[in-house]
Chain A
Amino acid sequence: MSITLDFNIKKLNRNTSKGLHLHYLPAKIDGDAHANVDTYFNNYTRSEHPFEGRVSTNALRGYPLLGEQIGVPDGFKAAVLQETRQSMRGLTARQLRLTGTFDKLMFWNYDRLPSNSDCYRQAMKMIKVSDALTVPVDDDEIKRQTEDHV
């Protein structure tokens, strides 16, 4: 059974002025619920870090976090989708609705400066390679390959 992305996908192209505010936390949190992020988290974000101006600091349950604002990778539009009527799952077709869009996020690391070593950045790098795999191969290239290969 297919899942429908039940919204006008073109909407993602229109840059809405009020995007969602996202934090990508280096912790597993069990639970999906409302939280007072502004009071307990955003309030404590500081950017006067001694290393470099771009790095912000905060803490989660006393554990220090180092964060950096990074944009959504080129060629992608980011969206937060939410499933409707989960209790009916299996009975009706599943649907995902659009909650909002964003074009940048706060990427937080525990105890480590955000850098190119982060899995996230390496993964985004690898995503670019997937384009190379879909470039159509023409007959000449295959012919040359078979001739070269002994």
Chain B
Amino acid sequence: MSKKATRSTQPKPDPDAPEKHGSEVVAPKKVFYISENLINNVEGEEELLHLERFFHPGKGRDALFVTLEQEKGNHIMELVEYSEPRRSWLIDSEVCSNGRIYMTTPVDTTFLALHYLRKYCAQRAMSLDSIHDDQDASANRLLMKFVNADHLKCVADVKVSGNTKFYKYNAERTKAWLAVKTRKVVDALKENNVYCGTSAQSQNFVRSEKHSDENTVNETDYLRMACDYVGRYLDVELYDELVRYLKIPTEIQALAEDQAQKRKSEQAQTNNSKKIKLNSGQDASSGLLDSSIDDAKESITSPTIPTPLKERTLTAKEKALAKGAKGSMSISSFFKVK
């Protein structure tokens, strides 16, 4: 038997050859993490989940939400995507180029309603069913079917007339409500040990007890992070109002202040710390650790803050220079093409 015949009689599955069952035409697969709360809310076998688009105030455009409509009450959840720049899946024996994970997360519908309340109910009280957005047909459906009207009293004055409830946007109440929300997020961030400091830090880095006493991450960092988190569901103007209400300094301001404080204390210490590093080995290692943290902090701060810092320190000088330079020609005028 020739070699060729042997091969043909015992056909080996050629791994490189595409297999018959639709190797090319595979409809894209998607990986979903669906919240158990949502699944447990589904009553019957026939109830289906839907993905619908509603206006998302934080994004300024519509986004996908998971909805469940049933007799005993409707449910809505946000659909968030987890995506990294370079990720893909191998699912059983298929390649899936879409490396995203779609997750359902709970959403407070008051945030979604807030957008419409601010838009339509700032001047006069309106009932939810009378709010219609000409550009956005889904608004009415969202407000009527999914928004929990009981919670709207946190952001609006409610007036009852007969069976109808009328809502009027209350800015002060809304801000207080948002502040409470922010505080809850701060607690959750702490509970989950989410690092909120301004410098980068390895998540594997376990702090010693002694170190954590020093409270390296201050309250403001947590507050800023929480405020950003809440801000993901707010219109931009409302987010700005919240930042002002909570009196959160901007990151640049905070860094500049931090830097200014550090400079003062460093002036006294720099010489000492250098000596320690050179002298005893044990101290040197701790010194190295500290300095590496400092370096990391500085390397991050340096590209972002130089301009505001310079302006702050040089204003007096600059003023004097500007005064002196009054009436003189700008240097660029000498290099003009004549």
Assess whether A70 is interfacial by the CB under 8 Å rule.
no
Given A9-B39, A132-B187, A149-B176: A27 touches B34 (CB 8 Å cut-off): no
Q: Once the chains bind, are B39 and A10 in contact (CB under 8 Å)?
A: yes
Assess whether A90 is interfacial by the CB under 8 Å rule.
no
B-chain residues with CB within 8 Å of residue A23 when the two chains form the complex: 89-90
In the complex formed, the residue of B with least CB distance to A132 is: B188
B-chain residues with CB within 8 Å of residue A41 when the two chains form the complex: 90
Assess whether B122 is interfacial by the CB under 8 Å rule.
no
CA distance A135 to B97 in the complex (A): 37
Q: Once the chains bind, are A142 and B176 in contact (CB under 8 Å)?
A: yes
Interface residues in B1-33 (C-beta closer than 8 Å to A): 15, 18-19, 21-24, 26-33
Q: Once the chains bind, are A77 and B30 in contact (CB under 8 Å)?
A: no
Assess whether A24 is interfacial by the CB under 8 Å rule.
yes
Q: Once the chains bind, are A131 and B90 in contact (CB under 8 Å)?
A: no
How far, in Å, is A5 (CB) from chain B's closest CB? 4
Interface residues in A99-150 (C-beta closer than 8 Å to B): 99-100, 115-117, 119-123, 125-137, 139, 141-142, 145-146, 149
CA distance A136 to B154 in the complex (A): 9
Q: Which of A32, A73, A99, A145 contacts B176 (CB 8 A)?
A: A145
How far, in Å, is B164 (CB) from chain A's closest CB? 22
Given A31-B97, A78-B33, A116-B203: A134 touches B107 (CB 8 Å cut-off): yes
Given A9-B42, A9-B49, A134-B106: A81 touches B87 (CB 8 Å cut-off): no
Q: Which of B45, B84, B88, B229 contacts A120 (CB 8 A)?
A: B84
Assess whether B119 is interfacial by the CB under 8 Å rule.
no
Assess whether B189 is interfacial by the CB under 8 Å rule.
yes
Tell me the interface secondary structure of chain B in the complex: mixed
A-chain residues with CB within 8 Å of residue B187 when the two chains form the complex: 132
Given A36-B93, A115-B204: A27 touches B88 (CB 8 Å cut-off): yes
B-chain residues with CB within 8 Å of residue A34 when the two chains form the complex: 18-19, 21-23, 26, 93-95
Q: Which of A33, A117, A131, A134 contacts B94 (CB 8 A)?
A: A33
How far, in Å, is B56 (CB) from chain A's closest CB? 14
CA distance A35 to B96 in the complex (A): 10
CA distance A115 to B233 in the complex (A): 30
How far, in Å, is A116 (CB) from chain B's closest CB? 4
CA distance A128 to B185 in the complex (A): 10
Q: Once the chains bind, are A82 and B185 in contact (CB under 8 Å)?
A: no
Q: Which of B29, B42, B108, B177 contacts A99 (CB 8 A)?
A: B29
Q: Once the chains bind, are B184 and A132 in contact (CB under 8 Å)?
A: yes
How far, in Å, is B312 (CB) from chain A's closest CB? 29
CA distance A82 to B85 in the complex (A): 22
Q: Once the chains bind, are B87 and A26 in contact (CB under 8 Å)?
A: yes
A-chain residues with CB within 8 Å of residue B310 when the two chains form the complex: none
Residue numbers of A with Cβ under 8 A of B are: 2-10, 12-13, 20-41, 72-73, 75-84, 86, 96, 99-100, 115-117, 119-123, 125-137, 139, 141-142, 145-146, 149
Residue numbers of B with Cβ under 8 A of A are: 15, 18-19, 21-24, 26-40, 42, 45-53, 64, 66-67, 80, 82, 84-99, 103, 105-108, 151, 153-154, 172-173, 176-177, 179-181, 184-185, 187-189, 192-194, 202-204, 229-230, 233, 245
